[in-house]
Amino acid sequence: MVATETISVAAASDVVAVRHAVRRRAIEIRLSLVDQTKIVTAASELARNMLVYAGGGKVTLEVLQEGIRQGLRALFVDVGPGIPDLDLALRDGFTTGNGMGLGLGGARRLVNEFDIESTPGVGTRVAITRWK
């Protein structure tokens, strides 16, 4: 791990801050424009979900170095209500709000690594990684 940065998410403006920070870090490690767009989009969706469904949380960005390979990991942690059925929540078209239901599943498709843990009444932890 080369560098970390943590951003608190408590308002819509913080979702924008997450987007900017992810883009800045992606540019630093020279991800392609397509890969930058993918991880920024996934991070934006996860930060927005964290704000809407959990009332906020924290996002930690990590620039990773494995030999000559570099990547960017974003870890989203909240202490919200949790997700009672992860399989259902990851299914395209499922939504508990007014969206299109592409959030979690869409974010998963945009990154190289996607890990989610959620416990009802405790919170949710999502880690996404995009490798160069």
CATH of the domain at 80: 3.30.565.10
**Which domain, by its residues, includes 46?**
3-131
Which segments of the chain have a pLDDT < 50? 1, 100-101
C-beta atoms surrounding 38 within 10 Å: 20
Token representation of residue 90: 């990851």
pLDDT of residue 101: 42
pLDDT of residue 45: 92
* Rounded distance between C-alpha atoms, residue 18 and residue 28, angstroms: 15
pLDDT of residue 102: 57
CA dihedral 9, 49, 60, 33 (to 10 degrees): -110
Token representation of residue 83: 């997700």
Element (H, E) at 81: none
**Which DSSP state fits 59?**
E
* Domains: count for the chain: 1
Residues 6+ apart with CB under 8 A from 61: 4, 5, 6, 7, 21, 22, 25, 72, 73, 74, 75
